């Protein structure tokens, strides 16, 4: 049942793609930002979209993403999109997030299908300000959490392939390009201690080994560059510090995160 809404998105996206645009899977993924103009034949609207920036805040569970987003949330011309966790906890009365943590082998595909759909919604949400900060992205949903389920043996190969095919189709045909990844880099041990302090219901079942696996995948993806393509430049901020120090670091990196001119010339 959860695949039905995603099919609806696919059909809608096909109607929005300009006629004559190449869509052959054999051509491979486009370079980042190459399909920014695919949504509108109007040149001015395309240029208007180009002026807007999308920054994704990435990191392990309890790495400080919420703190970072709250810090910038009152900044002029900045909008914040948090992870739609409330949707993952309640799909017409069902809690696929809780089910997945309870039995990942049974419910991993169910949750990740819905995560992929809701993160796609986040990327496609009309942007009203010059700068958008997003908590994670459709990329980390696939490259980190789906990948972890598969590597840990809790997702069958057929489920992994189906989700991967959906993801590959999305990035070829829909504009989910981003301009910067801010990686809040933490040790698994720090995240584990923070989890125990904040006591969220589903997170009570998360062991240190799970956080370590997520950390390793983030390191492979964003630091070593050996896992999957990186969708944007990466700004790494060490995030093992206490709250006051983290707020200082966010302030020190404000221009690097929020100013488009800084990103155009590299970090």
Residue 108 domain flag: yes
Residue 18 domain flag: no
Contact 56, 180 (CB under 8 A): yes
The verdict on whether residue 177 carries a ligand-binding annotation is: no
Name, in order, each residue with C-beta under 8 angstroms of 136's C-beta and a sequence gap of 6 or more.
56, 57, 58, 65, 83, 119
Q: How far is CA 167 from the centre of its chain?
A: 12
Residue 94 domain flag: yes
pTM attached to this predicted model: 0.79
The verdict on whether residue 59 carries a ligand-binding annotation is: yes
For the stretch 84-100, pLDDT in tens is 999 999 999 999 999 99
Residue 46 domain flag: no
| Residues involved in catalysis | 135
Residue 252 domain flag: yes
Residue 48 domain flag: no
Q: Which helix (H) or strand (E) holds 234?
A: strand 234-238
The parent domain of residue 223 ranges over 54-264
User: How far apart (Å, rounded) are the C-alpha atoms in residues 55 and 73?
Assistant: 13
The verdict on whether residue 53 carries a ligand-binding annotation is: no
For the stretch 4-51, pLDDT in tens is 544 554 545 444 433 333 333 333 333 333 333 333 334 444 454 557
The verdict on whether residue 243 carries a ligand-binding annotation is: no
Residue 81 domain flag: yes
For the stretch 56-80, pLDDT in tens is 999 999 999 999 999 999 999 999 9
Residue 37 domain flag: no
Structure tokens at 58: 């990435």
The verdict on whether residue 60 carries a ligand-binding annotation is: yes
List the CATH number of the domain containing 247.
Answer: 3.40.50.300
Domain count, the chain: 1
């Amino acid at each position: 049942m959860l695949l039905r809404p995603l099919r609806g998105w696919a059909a809608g996206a096909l109607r929005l793609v300009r006629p004559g645009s190449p869509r052959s899977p054999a051509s491979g993924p486009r370079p980042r930002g190459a399909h920014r103009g695919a949504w509108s034949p109007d040149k001015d609207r395309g240029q208007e979209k180009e002026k807007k920036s999308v920054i994704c805040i990435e990191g392990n569970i309890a790495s400080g993403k919420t703190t970072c987003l709250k810090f910038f949330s009152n900044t002029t011309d900045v909008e914040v999109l948090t992870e739609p966790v409330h949707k993952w906890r309640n799909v017409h009365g069902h809690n696929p997030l809780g089910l997945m943590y309870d039995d990942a082998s049974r419910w991993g595909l169910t949750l990740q299908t819905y995560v992929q759909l809701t993160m796609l919604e986040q990327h496609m949400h009309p942007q009203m300000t010059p700068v958008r900060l997003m908590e994670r992205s459709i990329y980390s949903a696939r490259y980190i959490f789906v990948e972890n389920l598969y590597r840990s043996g809790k997702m069958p190969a057929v489920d992994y392939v189906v989700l991967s095919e959906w993801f590959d189709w999305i990035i070829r045909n829909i504009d989910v390009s981003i301009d910067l990844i801010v990686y809040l880099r933490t040790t698994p041990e720090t995240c584990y201690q923070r989890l125990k302090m904040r006591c969220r219901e589903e997170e009570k079942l998360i062991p240190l080994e799970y956080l370590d696996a997520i950390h390793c995948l983030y390191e492979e993806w964003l630091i070593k560059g050996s896992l999957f393509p990186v969708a944007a430049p990466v700004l790494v901020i060490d995030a093992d510090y206490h709250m006051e120090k983290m707020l200082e670091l966010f302030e020190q990196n404000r221009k690097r995160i929020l100013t488009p001119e800084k990103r155009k010339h590299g970090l």
